[in-house]
Amino acid sequence: MPSSTDAWGLWEDRFADFLDSQTADAAHDRAHVERVAATARRLAQSETAQMDVVMPAAWLHDCVVLPKDAPDRASAARRAADTARDFLTDEGYPEQWIPDIEHAIAAHSYSGDTEPETAEAKVVQDADRLDALGAIGIARCFTVGGALDQSLYNLDDPFCDDRAPEDDAYTLDHFYAKLLRLPETMRTDAGRTEAKRRAAYMRSYLERLDGEIDTD
């Protein structure tokens, strides 16, 4: 069991090396993982969650990444959980924590169907969702939209005032299809508070954008 800062540093180096050998995209890169791990550490402290589960799960939650438009995207979290389990077993990580790590990874995904059943899984899910909100969430949203060659917004109704969001066609629609709904899905008190703060920033950004694209 990692019981000191030095021990955790060695494990995090192993996690980082493993991630560098995997395929990722610009929105799920090493920087994303490090942000999620840092947020998960803070949330775990406030929730008194087991760090030996939270930190490996946070580092390895996206060790399998599928494109947003992939037909099997919903299976990515389950595949990541399986890959992380095999990696941790091979690396000699304490076996007692691996089932809970596997569960936390499988349950982190918005598009998956696994409900988080432990404090650790709830922490990892919240940490990942927080990275889709606020200033970094805006940047990641447009990064993904650009990679998918989507239009920025619908010319007739940019902010989905009178239509359902189509985030497979318009990047801005993803704010309304998913991102602004995330605060109500948060599982921890600290995560919920931070999610509301970040969502408020996103709404202020959208208000500013509305003024800048108004052609009337």
Query: pLDDT digit string (tens) for 119-160?
Result: 999 999 999 999 999 999 999 999 999 988 999 999 999 999
Low-confidence ranges of the chain (pLDDT < 70): 1-9, 23-24, 67, 69-74, 216
Ramachandran quadrant class, 188 (left: phi over 0; alpha: psi -120 to 50; beta: rest):
beta
Query: pLDDT digit string (tens) for 119-128?
Result: 999 999 999 9
Classify each residue of 125-147 as buried b or exposed e, where b means 16 or more C-beta atoms within 10 Å of its C-beta.
bbbbbbbbbbebbbebbbbbbee
Predicted structure pTM score = 0.91
What are the domain boundaries of the chain?
1-114, 132-216
For tokens 């994303």, what's the residue?
Answer: 32
Q: Does domain 132-216 have CATH number 1.10.3210.50?
A: yes
Q: Does domain 1-114 have CATH number 2.60.120.620?
A: no
